[in-house]
């Protein structure tokens, strides 16, 4: 770090959207607008690029790291939603560029720290074996408002990660809906309990957390010192 | 792009107004308006149905962003078509024993519509086509996709297939002798639906989808032992 | 048989004044609030460029007395809203496309069960006749109607001249078929040539005319120039246009619309509000220029004159 420049002065805020979502999602837009009002430009990579078919957690991590590396030195705050939360956790654990771009804080929204495949409605009709046999499955993509194919490689790649086993030193805010049908509150509670600096807010909401956005923002703004 | 498409989709409506102002709606304007709004409803249904095949064939993904707007325009013209029929055909055929503004007028109007829907097959299918668009228009927003869940929303919006089939049948059964244009639309719709059918059959057979080129490989680094 | 020849068309068209005014007010209000389209309903609008020659029929025209009290429809409407599929199936097509029809020289072949069969030049058919103005209602099977001031002469006059044989029972008419002149005939929308027919007594009826003009001018092409039939108590498609052949026969002719859809169109096609078209009701019609649809009258309101032709006939069966 450069002398004379306080470590927390330059800070980049990233939003990692969820599975089959996009930077245009209502949550992403919500955070982007609130941060912009505080003079912060939120980075929101489109994790669907170059195509949804070849999406993997590894690809998302690589995209994030590439994007971060291109920025001026400074701390990095990751806001991750659902699968984006898993990516945030892994990135924070790896600290790929601790010298110039340390990941300093996390805000996790219903993070999919345990990939509960039996809850994936895309998978349940055919099962993992069906997915393997067909090579790909149909996923309803909310940004494209239609079905897209997802290669089995996604499963194989995701299986190599175990975010629930990570113990992160960074302070983190975690928001989880009690009525979440995609990410079980229990899995998030377990994860939060194992982190030294985690604050978990269990909310009366579903996976989208759409009724809690204002509350989430207030807590996040406070945590970021805004 | 959305603005361009919006403006373009309004052109038929604007043209109709323009013709109206210039008295250029033929000697029977109400029939002319009914016909024009009807054909544009069908055209927009066809265009909406064509978006996904266009996207897949051209690989130009952003085209999906105008699908909702085009579908809503189909509903818009459908509403105009139905309202013109309601006023220019049903209302205009009533008797008004108690004057215009009376309960009997409303009752007679509803009875008149019902009679038409029940007795005239081409009106029946037309009515079905129109009604099938209502739930689609009501649940067209992204909020509803989340509310219903992606899969359910998608299933509901397959109603557009019914709209297309019922709509073109309505058109075909309406013409007196010149079935050329209805046949053309029927052919286009058959192609668009057939394409989807072929696609879903292929999927269900579980054919192995060939893996596409680039795969991002990240060195599977051993999880760093964080404190 | 007694045939009433009173030309006045009475009660059907005189509405209660209060209701008439109320309807006018409603239409005005609708026009004020509904943009554009309502203005079109009232027929307000720019006059279209008349792109066909308008030739006044020389000499004085006898006033037949038919259609007193009836307001004829605007020339614009009569000449731009036509069903003449030989020139296209849209209403505006004939006015736009019929300019290719060659109406001179014109010959009408009159043959079949007549004593004097021949190819008659149009002038020879028309010159001996004292042309009169007949203001008739025309009711299309599609549920619209107009009042048209035709210029013509009784068909009976021509038939008497050619002397039908005693076994002649029907009259068959044929329209010109010429693919060069009539672009619509390149497709078999209907089977060409267009054919119509009448029972002999219908043909001989004083109401039945051959028309050569309207509004005191020779017929525009789109209205069936140079000579056409007008049978006002039947649906408009029976008033065959641009006639090139008249044949007397002892068998009921197969008219084109019946051939195309026998369960929808028959031979007699008398205007009958109680006999629905399979796909729509015939109980009402839109008089062009009006908003509210008026009740359709049996025989298009000419019942006094023609009902006796069909005494005892089941008009629902013989449609």
Q: pLDDT for B133-174, tens place per residue? A: 999 999 999 889 988 988 899 999 999 999 999 999 999 999
B144 min Cα distance to partner chain A (Å) = 11
Contacts of B224 in chain A (CB under 8 A): 93-95
C48 touches B at CB < 8 Å: yes
B55 min Cα distance to partner chain A (Å) = 11
Cβ distance B216 to A58 less than 8 Å, yes or no, reads yes
Pick the CATH number of C46-310 from 3.30.300.210, 1.20.1250.20, 3.90.420.10, 3.40.190.10: 3.90.420.10
A142 touches B at CB < 8 Å: yes
B180 touches C at CB < 8 Å: yes
C251 min Cα distance to partner chain B (Å) = 26
pLDDT band for position B1 (cuts 50, 70, 90):
confident
- Sheet (strand C243-249) strand order: C118-121, C107-112, C243-249, C170-175, C195-199
Q: What is the pLDDT of residue C175?
A: 98
Q: What is the pLDDT of residue C249?
A: 97
Contacts of B174 in chain C (CB under 8 A): 279
Q: Report how far apart, in Å, the C-alpha atoms of B138 and of each of B47, B134, B145 are.
A: 20, 6, 11
8 Å CB contact between A109 and A183: no
Question: In 3D, which of C89, B218, B38 has the Cα closest to residue A63?
Answer: B218
CB atoms within 10 A of CB A46: 13
C293 touches B at CB < 8 Å: yes
Q: Which chains touch A (3 or more CB pairs under 8 A)?
A: B
Q: What is the pLDDT of residue A222?
A: 93
Task: Pick B104 or C69 by higher pLDDT.
Answer: B104
Q: Report how far apart, in Å, the C-alpha atoms of A199 and of each of A80, A94, A175, A203 are.
A: 15, 21, 9, 13
Nearest chain B Cα to C49, which residue?
B24
For chains A and B, having 3+ Cβ pairs within 8 Å is answered yes
**Residue in C36, C262, C269 to test binding to B, most B beta-carbons within 10 Å:** C36
pLDDT band for position B211 (cuts 50, 70, 90):
very low
For chains A and C, having 3+ Cβ pairs within 8 Å is answered no
CA angle C161, C166, C167 (to 5 degrees): 120
Contacts of C72 in chain B (CB under 8 A): none
B23 touches C at CB < 8 Å: yes
C76 touches B at CB < 8 Å: yes
ipTM of the complex: 0.83
Cβ distance C37 to B25 less than 8 Å, yes or no, reads yes
Q: What is the pLDDT of residue C43?
A: 42
A130 min Cα distance to partner chain B (Å) = 9
Tell me how many residue pairs between chain A and chain B have CB atoms under 8 A apart: 84
The encoded tokens of residue A194 equal 């194992």
Contacts of C49 (CB under 8 A, 6+ apart): none
Contacts of C4 (CB under 8 A, 6+ apart): C304, C305
The encoded tokens of residue A224 equal 């970021």
- Long-range contacts at B205-209 (CB < 8 A, ≥ 24 apart): B206/A130, B206/A133, B206/A134, B207/A134, B208/A134, B208/A135, B209/A134, B209/A135, B209/A136, B209/A149, B209/A151
8 Å CB contact between B75 and B48: no
Cβ distance A130 to B61 less than 8 Å, yes or no, reads no
Helix (H) or strand (E) holding C152: strand C144-154
Residue B210: pLDDT above 90? no
* Burial environment of residue B216 by CB neighbours within 10 A (0 to 12, 13 to 18, 19 or more): middle
Question: In 3D, which of B20, B62, B50, B53 has the Cα closest to residue B160?
Answer: B50
Buried-state track C108-146, b at ≥16 Cβ within 10 A, e below 16: bebbbbbeeeeebebeebbeeeebbbbbbbbbbbbbbbb
B89 min Cα distance to partner chain C (Å) = 8
Cβ distance C39 to B21 less than 8 Å, yes or no, reads yes
8 Å CB contact between A184 and A116: yes
Domain boundaries, chain C: 46-310
The average pLDDT across B86-105 equals 90
Helix (H) or strand (E) holding A82: none
Cβ distance A56 to B52 less than 8 Å, yes or no, reads no
Residue B51: pLDDT above 90? yes
Q: What is the pLDDT of residue C50?
A: 64
Nearest chain B Cα to C279, which residue?
B120
Which residue do the tokens 């057939």 mark?
B194
Tell me how many residue pairs between chain B and chain C have CB atoms under 8 A apart: 95
Question: In 3D, which of C82, C107, C286 has the Cα closest to residue C184?
Answer: C82
B18 touches C at CB < 8 Å: yes
Residues of chain A with pLDDT under 70: 1-10
Residues of chain C with pLDDT under 70: 1-50
Torsion over CA: C85, C156, C159, C247 (sign) = positive
The encoded tokens of residue B5 equal 């498409």
Cβ distance A142 to B146 less than 8 Å, yes or no, reads yes
C289 touches B at CB < 8 Å: yes
Nearest chain A Cα to B67, which residue?
A145
Task: Pick B214 or A142 by higher pLDDT.
Answer: A142
A22 touches B at CB < 8 Å: no
d(C-alpha C50, C-alpha A132), whole Å: 73
Question: In 3D, which of C210, C144, C214 has the Cα closest to residue C173?
Answer: C210
C22 touches B at CB < 8 Å: yes
The encoded tokens of residue B85 equal 């029929």
Go through the domains of chain A in sequence order and give each one's CATH number.
11-115+164-223 (3.40.50.1820)
pLDDT band for position B61 (cuts 50, 70, 90):
confident
| Range 154-193 of A in CB contact (< 8 A) with B | 160, 162, 165-169
B206 touches C at CB < 8 Å: no
B113 touches C at CB < 8 Å: no
Residue B212: pLDDT above 60? no
B31 touches C at CB < 8 Å: yes
């Amino acid at each position: 770090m450069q002398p004379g420049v306080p470590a927390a002065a330059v800070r980049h805020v990233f939003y990692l959207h969820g599975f089959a979502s996009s930077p245009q999602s209502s949550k992403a837009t919500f955070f982007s607008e609130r941060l912009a009002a505080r003079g912060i430009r939120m980075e929101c990579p489109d994790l669907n690029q170059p195509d949804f078919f070849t999406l993997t957690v590894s690809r998302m991590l690589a995209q994030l790291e590439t994007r971060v590396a291109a920025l001026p030195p400074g701390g990095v705050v990751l806001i991750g939603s659902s699968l984006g939360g898993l990516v945030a956790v892994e990135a924070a654990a790896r600290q790929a560029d601790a010298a110039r771009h340390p990941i300093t804080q996390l805000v996790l929204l219903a993070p999919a720290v345990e990939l509960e495949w039996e809850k994936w409605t895309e998978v349940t009709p055919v099962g993992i074996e069906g997915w393997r046999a067909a090579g790909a499955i149909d996923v309803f993509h909310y940004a494209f408002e239609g079905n897209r194919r997802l290669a089995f490689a996604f499963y194989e790649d995701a299986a190599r990660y175990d975010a629930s086993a990570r113990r992160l030193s960074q302070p983190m805010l975690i928001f989880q809906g009690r009525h979440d049908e995609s990410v079980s509150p229990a899995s998030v509670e377990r994860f939060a309990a194992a982190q030294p600096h985690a604050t978990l807010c269990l909310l009366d909401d579903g996976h989208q957390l759409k009724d809690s956005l204002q509350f989430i923002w207030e807590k996040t703004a406070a945590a970021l010192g805004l | 792009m959305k603005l361009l498409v919006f403006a373009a989709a309004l052109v038929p409506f604007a043209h109709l107004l323009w013709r109206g102002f210039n008295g250029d709606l033929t000697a029977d304007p109400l029939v002319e308006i009914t016909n024009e709004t009807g054909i544009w409803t069908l055209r927009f249904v066809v265009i909406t149905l064509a978006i996904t095949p266009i996207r897949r064939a051209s690989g130009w993904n952003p085209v999906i962003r105008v699908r909702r707007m085009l579908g809503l325009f189909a509903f818009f013209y459908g509403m105009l078509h139905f309202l013109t029929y309601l006023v220019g055909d049903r209302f205009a055929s009533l008797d008004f024993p108690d004057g215009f503004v009376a309960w009997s007028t409303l009752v007679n109007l509803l009875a008149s519509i019902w009679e038409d829907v029940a007795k005239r097959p081409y009106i029946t299918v037309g009515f079905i086509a129109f009604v099938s668009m209502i739930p689609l228009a009501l649940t067209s927003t992204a909020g509803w996709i989340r509310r219903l869940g992606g899969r359910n929303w998608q299933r509901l919006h397959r109603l557009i297939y019914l709209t297309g089939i019922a709509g073109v049948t309505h058109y075909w059964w309406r013409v007196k002798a010149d079935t050329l244009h209805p046949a053309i639309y029927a052919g286009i719709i058959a192609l668009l639906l057939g394409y989807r059918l072929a696609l879903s059959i292929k999927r269900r057979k579980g054919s192995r989808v060939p893996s596409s080129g680039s795969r991002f490989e990240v060195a599977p680094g051993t999880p760093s032992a964080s404190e | 048989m007694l045939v009433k020849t009173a030309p006045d068309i009475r009660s059907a068209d005189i509405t209660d004044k209060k209701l008439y005014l109320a309807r006018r007010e409603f239409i005005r209000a609708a026009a004020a609030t509904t943009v554009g389209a309502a203005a079109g309903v009232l027929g307000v609008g720019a006059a279209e460029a008349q792109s066909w020659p308008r030739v006044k029929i020389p000499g004085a025209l006898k006033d037949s007395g038919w259609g007193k009290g009836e307001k004829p429809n605007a020339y614009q409407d009569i000449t731009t809203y036509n069903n003449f599929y030989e020139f296209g199936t849209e209403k505006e097509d004939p006015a736009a496309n019929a300019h290719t029809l060659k109406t001179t020289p014109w010959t009408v072949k009159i043959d079949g069960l007549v004593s004097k069969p021949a190819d008659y030049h149009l002038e020879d058919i028309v010159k001996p006749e004292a042309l009169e103005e007949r203001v008739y209602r025309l009711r299309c099977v599609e549920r619209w109607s107009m009042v048209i001031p035709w210029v013509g002469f009784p068909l009976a006059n021509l038939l008497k001249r050619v002397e039908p044989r005693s076994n002649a029972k029907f009259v068959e008419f044929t329209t010109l078929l010429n693919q060069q002149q009539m672009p619509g005939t390149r497709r078999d929308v209907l089977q060409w040539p267009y054919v119509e027919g009448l029972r002999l007594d219908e043909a001989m009826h004083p109401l039945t005319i051959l028309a050569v003009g309207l509004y005191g001018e020779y017929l525009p092409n789109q209205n069936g120039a140079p000579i056409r039939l007008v049978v006002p108590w039947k649906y408009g498609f029976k008033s065959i246009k641009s006639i090139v052949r008249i044949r007397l026969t002892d068998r009921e002719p197969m008219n084109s619309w019946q051939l195309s859809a026998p369960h929808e169109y028959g031979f007699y096609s008398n205007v009958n509000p109680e006999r629905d078209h399979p796909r729509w009701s015939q109980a009402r019609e839109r008089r062009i220029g009006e908003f509210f649809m008026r009740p359709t009258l049996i025989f298009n309101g000419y019942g006094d004159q023609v009902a006796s032709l069909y005494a005892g006939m089941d008009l629902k069966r013989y449609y």
